[in-house]
Amino acid sequence: MYIFISLAVGALLGDSFIHLIPEALEESLGTTTSILIIVGILFFFVLEKFLHWHHHGEDTEEEIHIHPVGKLILFSDGVHNFLDGIIIAASFMVSIPVGVATTLAVILHEIPQEIGDFAVLIHSGYTKTKALWLNFFSALTAVLGGVTFFVLGEFAESLSLYFVPIAAGGFIYIAVADLIPELHKTKTVKHSVYQIAAVVVGVVVMWALTFLEH
């Protein structure tokens, strides 16, 4: 489980620094991009605070065993998938070949991250079946993003420029504030080496996918 969590750390950080942030910077938003990344980090910090308060206030036995990071990963991944849906819809407006290529790139881009997300959900206390279903429903926000683009058109595309760095900030927060501290609970040298290797693999996979996106 800790190997998959380590993979999730690498995938989230790689996705943020290799894909999302460069994409936002390409749009020449200037310092606004940096501010929005910080906004994303602070937003997820406040959201986790709220989830912790709600978490401790729940009386049901099921909720007591669900760690808030599971809900955070679902929320952040839902936002990310929504943006992917907008990107796919926009690419199909250019041409069908471009749309197909973009869709394939997004699928390849999502596989390592979704594997990591599934591991985080299991670690947070969800059953395997529930984790699969929640991950599936989170992925459906991509369809919502595509529909939103076709309804709102260029306005939705312009809004996505601001949501991309916010999503990146959320991924950075989850990786650094929630997942990495979990890895520190493993003290043995051998397991630590495996974890570091898995983090590197997650980053390298995200970096390798850049060659498929162009």
Highest mean pLDDT among 1-5, 75-79, 130-134: 130-134
Q: Is a pLDDT exceeding 70 seen at residue 204?
A: yes
Number of H helices, E strands in the chain: 12, 0
Q: Is a pLDDT exceeding 70 seen at residue 50?
A: yes
> What distance in Å separates the CA atoms of residue 93 and residue 28, rounded to the nearest whole number?
23
H or E element in which residue 68 lies: helix 68-94
Half-sphere exposure of 148 (CA within 13 A, CB side): 20
Q: Is a pLDDT exceeding 50 seen at residue 206?
A: yes
Q: What angle do CA 148, 73, 58 make, to 5 degrees?
A: 110
Q: What is the token pair recorded at 7? A: 């993979």
pLDDT at 105: 60
What is the tens place of the pLDDT at every residue in 70-108?
777 788 778 878 877 887 887 676 567 656 656 766 675
Q: Is a pLDDT exceeding 60 seen at residue 28?
A: yes
Mean pLDDT of the chain: 79
pLDDT at 64: 45
**In the block, residue with structure tokens 């709220």:** 50
The pTM assigned to this predicted structure is 0.70
Angle separating helix axes 2-14 and 96-124, nearest 10 degrees? 140
> What distance in Å separates the CA atoms of residue 107 and residue 111, rounded to the nearest whole number?
6
Residue 60 — pLDDT band, cuts 50, 70, 90? very low
